[in-house]
């Protein structure tokens, strides 16, 4: 389903054994639930049922930010009806009002997602929408579904008060690890996608302890070489948003000041997401010729040489493409970029999906969550909190309070 096609480095048996031990330690933790989601059919059934209940709405809009949206944004690309689903991730007022003005409010359904139920950006969007609906003599809550923790919080309390259906995010699953919960499953189900396939892939990934261990070791080896930038280079149109999802998972989970023993945490890399072939015409220059502090992690799919073939050159520079598909060019560029970097002594790893389908995507989501969790165990850090983010949230509230005093 997913294999390492190429790597500049390889783990020693001792390194592999240690990482496998960390992986098993992760799976033995009772305080975490993300790796057990695929064992429970109820998540599929709940999301399929709710999707059927709201199937007559012409537009489905997700209010969410970060882990509440990024996974669904990835999955959206797998639907031929992707224009039915929108994500309102930002609180840029100008953009928000412009988007809302373009909607038929009566035929739009809002999926409001916040793990804590306290995310100020998401709650603010919902509050403004409630006001807009009320001004138009419409009922906002009747056009809503909430995805949050069931326990009391501002969002779930509002949902219960207004008879809005709530789909649960279990307390032992963090927001950025929630893509295979209703957070990702419901938006995908609303697009008619095979969400059961996501669980099949996730279950497969959970069994790949050596693959998880090898990828985790690749990161550790790069940091030992002081490669403080990890480039996630995504070669797939369908997976182009996987880079931002993985970047958030990496940065929030691994970038910690303190270890679990309250000592200085080990330094880890900063993630950067690139898209092939687009960024070959920009960032490749710096990766190739710039300072040698980068490890390049390619994610690609096996492209089949099927489909429309070019029958005549039309332009002189396309003579090499005659008799070939567009995928042949895409595959050639992906391989050429990786080989050029490797030959230039820039370390690379190529992760390849055998098939581009929902099973492989579910496997990819779970695989990288397990890699991050395993790295947390190896580094002895808490990969499941985000104290640095909380500081910013606190400061935002202070700023808003200060505005009331002026």
Domain boundaries of the chain, sorted by first residue:
2-29+199-384, 34-193
Give yes or no for a contact between 234 and 275, defined as CB atoms under 8 angstroms apart: yes
pLDDT for residue 117: 96
Q: Is the pLDDT of residue 392 over 80?
A: no
Q: Is the pLDDT of residue 387 over 90?
A: no
Q: How much is the average pLDDT of 153-178?
A: 97
SS3 39: helix
pLDDT for residue 391: 74
Q: Is the pLDDT of residue 399 over 80?
A: no
Give yes or no for a contact between 233 and 276, defined as CB atoms under 8 angstroms apart: yes
Which band of pLDDT confidence, cut at 50, 70 and 90, is reported for residue 406? low
Give yes or no for a contact between 362 and 200, defined as CB atoms under 8 angstroms apart: yes
Q: How much is the average pLDDT of 259-266?
A: 96
SS3 242: helix
Which band of pLDDT confidence, cut at 50, 70 and 90, is reported for residue 240? very high
Q: How far apart are the first and last CA of the chain?
A: 59
Q: How much is the average pLDDT of 117-134?
A: 96
- Looking at domain 34-193, its CATH architecture is 3-Layer(aba) Sandwich (3.40)
How many C-beta neighbours within 10 Å does residue 212 have? Answer: 28
Superfamily, domain 2-29+199-384: Glucose-6-phosphate isomerase like protein; domain 1 (3.40.50.10490)
Quote the pTM value: 0.94
Can 2-29+199-384 and 34-193 be said to share one CATH topology? yes
pLDDT for residue 202: 98
Q: Is the pLDDT of residue 348 over 70?
A: yes
pLDDT tens digits for range 300-320: 998 776 789 999 999 988 999
pLDDT tens digits for range 50-99: 999 999 999 999 999 999 999 999 999 999 999 999 999 999 999 999 99
What is the C-alpha separation between 331 and 223, in angstroms, rounded? 29
Query: Which is higher by pLDDT, 278 or 398?
Result: 278
């Amino acid at each position: 389903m997913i294999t390492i096609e190429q790597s500049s480095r390889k783990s020693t048996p001792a390194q592999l054994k240690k990482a496998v031990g960390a992986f098993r330690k992760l799976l033995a933790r009772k305080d975490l639930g993300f790796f057990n989601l695929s064992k429970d059919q109820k998540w599929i059934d709940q999301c399929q049922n709710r999707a059927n209940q709201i199937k007559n709405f012409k537009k489905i809009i997700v209010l969410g930010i970060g882990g509440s949206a990024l996974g669904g944004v990835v999955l959206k690309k797998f639907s031929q009806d992707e224009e039915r689903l929108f994500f309102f991730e930002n609180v840029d007022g100008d953009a928000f009002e412009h988007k809302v003005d373009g909607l038929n409010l009566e035929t739009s359904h809002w999926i409001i997602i916040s793990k804590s139920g306290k995310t100020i950006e998401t709650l603010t969007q919902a509050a403004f929408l409630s006001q807009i609906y009320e001004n138009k003599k419409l009922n906002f809550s009747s056009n809503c579904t909430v995805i949050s923790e069931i326990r009391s919080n501002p969002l779930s309390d509002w949902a219960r008060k207004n008879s809005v259906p709530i789909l649960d995010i279990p307390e032992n699953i963090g927001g950025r690890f929630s893509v295979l919960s209703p957070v990702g499953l419901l938006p995908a189900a609303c697009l008619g996608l095979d969400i059961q396939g996501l669980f099949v892939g996730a279950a497969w990934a959970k069994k790949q302890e050596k693959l998880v261990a090898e990828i985790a070791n690749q990161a550790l080896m790069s940091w030992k070489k002081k490669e403080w930038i990890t480039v996630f280079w995504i070669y797939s149109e369908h997976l182009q948003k996987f880079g931002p999802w993985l970047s958030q998972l990496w940065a929030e989970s691994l970038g910690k000041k303190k270890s679990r023993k309250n000592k200085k945490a080990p330094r880890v890399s900063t993630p950067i997401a690139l898209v092939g072939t687009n960024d070959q015409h920009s960032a490749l220059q710096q990766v190739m010729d710039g300072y040698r502090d980068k490890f390049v992690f390619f994610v690609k799919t096996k492209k089949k040489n099927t489909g429309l073939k070019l029958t005549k050159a039309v332009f002189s520079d396309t003579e090499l493409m005659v008799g070939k598909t567009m995928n042949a060019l895409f595959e050639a560029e992906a391989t050429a970029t990786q080989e050029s970097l490797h030959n230039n002594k820039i370390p690379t790893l190529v992760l390849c999906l055998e098939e581009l389908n929902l099973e492989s995507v579910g496997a990819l989501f779970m695989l990288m969550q397990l890699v991050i969790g395993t790295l947390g165990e190896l580094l002895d850090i808490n990969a499941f909190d985000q104290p640095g983010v909380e500081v910013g949230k606190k400061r935002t509230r202070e700023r808003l309070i200060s505005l009331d005093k002026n």
